[in-house]
Amino acid sequence: MFNLHQRLDALKPVIVLIGTVPALAICGAAAAEPAKFAFGATDVPSAGSAAAHGRYSAGCLAGAAQLPESGPDWQAMRLSRNRYWGHPDMIAFIKRLAQQGRSVGWGGLYVGDISQPRGGPMLSGHRSHQVGLDVDIWLRPGRRLNLSTAEREEIGSPSVVSADQLHVNEHWTSAHAEILETAASDPAVARIFVNAAIKQQLCDTREPGDANWLRKVRPWWGHDSHFHVRLRCPPGNACIEQQPPPAGDGCDATLAWWFTDEALNPPPPAPREVPPELTLADLPEACQAVIGNE
């Protein structure tokens, strides 16, 4: 069994091959190898114009922009992951939200994973975050924006949800609701994923007219210590958007399901239900050029 470094070393000629031959020539081991090894081994973006290719959970990113490690209103966290790359629209959104957050009492953003330098599947963690249009933002207000590199690796973001997953807890504040509303009100945002208890809290305190932004806030497992923002596909890019969220504010029977035993205690997936590893052949053809681009 190869260890990770052996697998990455073995893939180096594959990466060169991809950049020098037509896509149709990629076959055998290169086509069958999980694409996460090639994308995870690349620590710089591809050259050329920015372009998101494919789906949020099956795609790649050309010409990625890097979020500066620190800014006047944000800090990138877990720098060792090298996942603070994104489509320029995403980098602009983060800076915009960070500045707006000051006016609603948030303080600053602690920014988690965006994408790898060329997007694509990751060696660990996310299934999405592949086209540079997803970002995780900690539900911990950035009270200090002078964290050292070591501190950014060590500190975490506390859960704002009770142990039984039914309510928000003592860490929740009105500023949490304000930063979520600010993010969801941005026209570039397609969806925001949060724990169902957070969605319920927003529903319980909603006001008339909130449906326009609250509709975008969708419940999903986890997401109790960060919220996940997904942007719309920028014009002219070859990415594929999800269908828009259903009409209404989402404070209905579909939300109630998230508090049933079926949702709170789902059985582990059967082996046949575990999605297979994505290979280069599963990604848009343009991704073969992205990963082979010097």
- CA gap 246, 94 in Å, rounded: 26
Residue 196 backbone dihedrals phi, psi, to 5 degrees: -60, -35
107 backbone φψ class: left, alpha, beta (φ>0; ψ -120 to 50):
left
Give pLDDT, residue 26.
Answer: 46
Give pLDDT, residue 210.
Answer: 81
How far, in Å, are 83, 88, 140, 171, 208 from residue 74 at the CA level? 15, 16, 12, 20, 32
- CA gap 153, 108 in Å, rounded: 18
Q: What is the pLDDT along the chain (294 residues), one digit of tens a residue?
A: 333 333 333 343 333 333 333 333 344 455 578 999 999 999 999 999 999 999 999 999 999 999 999 999 999 999 999 999 999 999 999 999 999 999 999 989 999 999 999 999 999 888 899 999 999 999 999 999 999 999 999 999 999 999 999 999 999 999 999 999 999 999 999 999 999 999 999 999 998 878 889 999 999 999 999 999 999 999 999 999 999 999 999 999 999 999 999 999 988 877 766 778 999 999 999 999 999 876
Give pLDDT, residue 275.
Answer: 77
> Shortest CA distance to 37 belongs to which of 86, 4, 80?
4
Residue 231 backbone dihedrals phi, psi, to 5 degrees: -90, 160
Torsion of CA 109, 160, 224, 208, to 10 degrees: -80
Q: What is 126-168 written as a DSSP string?
A: -SS--SS-EEEEESS--S-S---HHHHHH------B-TTSSSB
- CA gap 225, 236 in Å, rounded: 34
What SS3 class is residue 33? coil
- CA gap 140, 107 in Å, rounded: 10
CA angle 240, 100, 248 (to 5 degrees): 50
